[in-house]
Chains A and B, each alone.
Chain A
Amino acid sequence: MEQKTTIDKSFKTEPYQINMGPQHPATHGVLRLVLTIDGEIIEKVEPDLGYIHRSIEKMCERDSYQQIVHLTDRMDYLSSNINNEAVCLAVENALELEIPDRVKVIRTIIGELTRIASHCLWWGVMGMDVGALTTYFYGFRDREMINDIFEETCGARLTMNYNVPGGLMFDIHPNFVKRVKEFITHFKTKIPEYNRLLTGNVIFQKRMKGVGILTKEDAISFGASGPVARGSGYSCDVRKYHPYSALDKVTFKEALKTEGDSLARYEVRIQELWESLSIVEQLIDNIPEGEYRVATKAVIKLPKGEFYQKVETARGEFGVYIISTGTKSPYRLKFRSPGFSNLSLLNHIAVGGKIGDLVATMATLDLVIPDIDR
């Protein structure tokens, strides 16, 4: 803030407050940011949550474990299938169920497709936040193909409910493999198109480079995870360190950048599109035959104890922490959502930037508000 000293004292400047949200196009939902601004320069960002709080964790204490799966859809709705998987894995581990390989592979394929769909949407919205409206439609075009595959598989496009404790709700559709392969060939030509349209643009590079810098130390101390942390060089991919489902059978690189600015976070996600695509490609040809679900009791009762399962959603590390007293519903259930920790560092990286920077930086955090506000 060295500019201030040069300003003539007779022209006193005064910071003012402005409410960004809860009804604002850039906050992607009902997030309210109380900004303290000096002209165009951000002095403080205070996120105000609670506009979409549905007390999901409390509701879980009343529900059976099968029902909890459905509630997780409504948190991070863009990676709903991965959330479902986390709860199912936690319950299955607690019950020490042996899950068929077929289920594991299908879960991983659908999980990675979910990640691609989520990143497609993020990419479109990212472009929109920096002012390039066309990207939105390109991102949605490709996301639509994945949604169609999901629709055919389980009847739902967004809130999937495809996983149940013990396996999957239905077997995959006969067309599944064919359509996923079609998507892979289609999408391989489309990622370069994304780069041509947005990544290589001079204005975009200028908007992103050196903006919203998050150091590795800060990323760790704020509890950042997912692409946000990996853009700062903090290797934290749950899929690598604690592989679940069929992820231990595939080879993939963890997308990692060390710059820590908005562009790094952007490029990590673009890199993740390639990696997810390669994971799907490795698995799609050899889905093992077998059961699509193992029978569980109609009323699942977990043994007494504490269970934790973490997975990597499109936004970062998602954790399910269950305390069970041996009854049909958990005594206490806590979700560790990636968006919450990622939002907490917004004030840290946005201060000193312009309003435009704040919007661009927030877009690279890829916030989904129902995930933050459960």
Chain B
Amino acid sequence: MNISLNITKSIHEWLFSIMPEGVANIVEMALIGLLYLAIFAILGLFLVLLERRVAAWFQLRIGPNRVGFQGVLQTMADALKLLSKELTGTVKADKFLYNLAPYFVIISSLMALAVIPFTKEFQAFDINIGIFFLIGVSSIGVIGILLGGWASNNKFALIGAMRSGVQTISYEMSIGLSLLTMILITGSLQLSEIVEVQKSGWLIVQGHIPAIIAFMIYMIAGTAETNRAPFDLVEAESELGAGFHTEYSGMKFAYFFLAEFINMFLIAAIATTIFFGGWLSPFGITESIPWLGVFWFLGKALILIFLMMWFRWTFPRLRIDQLLTLEWKYLLPINLVNIVIMALIVWLNLTIKI
């Protein structure tokens, strides 16, 4: 029995003892919603800081180190500044869609966060079609980007939004197919069950060669999904200024910005769950302390995030036609062949189980 479960359980019981069942349910949902909003904000701010420090490290700089210890409060200060800024916009913009766009982006990543299993009991929404839900929900974000670019009444923003539409729709295929490759081993879409399966070896080990191929494709497509370099054509600053969020300011801009970082975390978190055993510790060294699962989960996710930052700060950007060539001519065919190979491996029982 672990502590966390006890706390949540006692809160649950206490809520139900003082108010009628319906109200208690709603209050509990609100509490969990608030908790996830807090996670969202803290993660976003932390990742922004991490990105800046990592970038500085790559670029012979120091990075933010003045506000708070080693600059830990820097992003907090930036967020406060953005909050206090005036929300400007273009004159002939479609005001309704313009204001709506950031919420699409941020809500999609917030919803996706709900199914991520941080550890055994720390998952808001353990749905039996978990991965399907993740892919579905995370693709809502592109609507926000398209709307933002369209409603800004700015040609640069429009080009950025159109690029984003093309890019996200294309790379969604690769993400879906590479995850599907791994589903062949687990036989379940439920994230908690996928992690359970990995008690006999992480899926990247179980599925060996096709799993590694699937992981590489997933990371490439995932980086493209989050619109980060080398696939940052959407906001290619040397070509389009700032792309789809050129006309956004203040907190609306911050929503786009935060959502990008949360999406990066989501991509890393899904990879952790599917390929690297989620909250499971390597060789089961801390299986007896389940709460440490969060530590392992975040640790693995951070390593993958670091990998994505590494791409970002070393690679040049692709051109739009090269981007689509890469997806439709290389990744997708490789992926389809890879699924067949994986199916054969699972059928012939050639997976490696520890």
Chain A residues within 8 Å of B, Cβ to Cβ: 16, 18, 24-26, 40, 127-134, 136-138, 141, 197-198, 201, 203-204, 206-207, 354-357, 359
Would you give the 0/1 interface string for B193-229, flagging 1 where the beta carbon is closer than 8 Å to chain A?
Answer: 0000000000000000000000000000000000001
Partner of B316, one of A16, A130, A354: A130
21 A-B contact pairs sorted by A residue (CB < 8 Å): A18-B159, A40-B320, A131-B229, A131-B230, A131-B317, A132-B316, A132-B317, A134-B58, A134-B313, A137-B59, A138-B60, A141-B60, A198-B316, A201-B316, A206-B319, A207-B317, A355-B240, A356-B233, A356-B317, A359-B238, A359-B239
Asked if A355 contacts B239 (CB within 8 A), the reply is: yes
Cβ distance A272 to chain B, nearest Cβ, rounded Å: 21
Give the distance to chain A from B236, nearest Cβ to Cβ, in Å: 7
* B236 engages A131 (CB within 8 Å): yes
**B316 touching A356 by the CB < 8 A rule?**
no
Is A354's CB under 8 angstroms from B320's CB? Answer: yes
4 other A-B residue contacts (CB within 8 Å) besides A132-B314, A137-B61, A203-B317: A18-B156, A40-B321, A207-B322, A356-B317
A197 touches B314 (CB 8 A): yes
* A-contact bits for B1-28, CB 8 A (1 contact / 0 none): 0000000000000000000000000000
Whole-angstrom CA separation of A238 from B62 in the bound complex: 42
Inter-chain CA distance A137–B57, complex, in Å, is 11
Contact of B159 with A203 in the complex, beta carbons under 8 Å: no
Does A354 lie within 8 Å of B238, measured CB to CB?
Answer: no
The listed residue (A132, A197, A206, A356) touching B239 by CB distance below 8 A is A356
- Chain A residues with Cβ below 8 Å from B239 are 26, 355-356, 359
> Bound complex: CA of A136 vs CA of B56, how far in Å?
12
User: How long is the Cα–Cα vector from A141 to B237 in the complex, in angstroms?
Assistant: 22
Main secondary structure of the interface of A (DSSP, over half): helix
B241 at the interface (CB under 8 A from A): yes
Q: In the assembled complex, how far is the CB of residue B126 from the closest CB belonging to chain A, in whole angstroms?
A: 39
| Chain A nearest CB, measured from B310 CB (Å) | 10
Chain B residues with Cβ under 8 A from A25's Cβ?
A: 237-238, 241
Question: Which chain B residue lies CB-closest to A26?
Answer: B238
Among residues 73 to 96 in chain B, which have CB atoms less than 8 Å away from a CB atom of chain A?
none
**How far, in angstroms, from A147 to B327 measured CA to CA in the complex?**
45
Contacting residue for A356 out of B61, B314, B319, CB 8 A: B319
Interface residues of B (CB under 8 A from A): 55, 58-61, 155-156, 159, 229-230, 232-233, 236-241, 313-322
The distance from the CB of A225 to the nearest CB of chain B, in whole angstroms, is 25
From A26, A136, A203, give the contact of B315 (CB < 8 A).
Answer: A203
* Docked complex Cα distance between A356 and B61 (Å): 28
What's the nearest-Cβ distance from chain A to residue B309, in Å? 11
Q: List, in ascending order, chain B residues with CB within 8 A of A127's CB.
A: 316
CA A141 to CA B321, docked complex, whole Å: 34
In the docked arrangement, what's the CA distance between A128 and B320, Å? Answer: 17
Q: Known contacts being A18-B155, A25-B241, A131-B236, is A357 close to B319, with CB within 8 Å?
A: yes
Task: State the CA gap A35–B32 with chains docked (Å).
Answer: 51
B241 contacts which chain A residues (CB < 8 A)? Answer: 24-25
Q: Closest approach, in angstroms, between the C-beta of A28 and any C-beta of chain B?
A: 10
- Indicate if the CB atoms of A204 and B236 lie closer than 8 Å: no
Complex interface: chain A residues within 8 A of B238 (CB): 25-26, 128-131, 359
Q: In the complex, which residues of chain B have a beta carbon less than 8 angstroms from the beta carbon of A134?
A: 55, 58-59, 313-314
Q: Which residue of A lies closest to B325 (CB)?
A: A206
Assembly CA distance A130 to B314 (angstroms): 11
CA distance A18 to B155 in the complex (A): 7
Nearest to A204 among chain B residues (CB) is B316
The listed residue with most A CB atoms (<10 A of its CB), out of B55, B159, B317, is B317
Q: Which residue of B lies closest to A208 (CB)?
A: B316
Residue ID in chain B nearest A132 by CB atoms:
B316
Do A354 and B319 touch (CB < 8 A)? yes
CB <8 Å contact, B58 and A131: no
Tell whether A203 pairs with B60 under 8 Å between CB atoms, given A128-B238, A356-B239: no
A355 touching B159 in the complex, CB below 8 Å, given contacts A129-B238, A130-B316, A203-B317 = yes
> By the criterion CB–CB under 8 Å, are A201 and B315 in contact?
yes
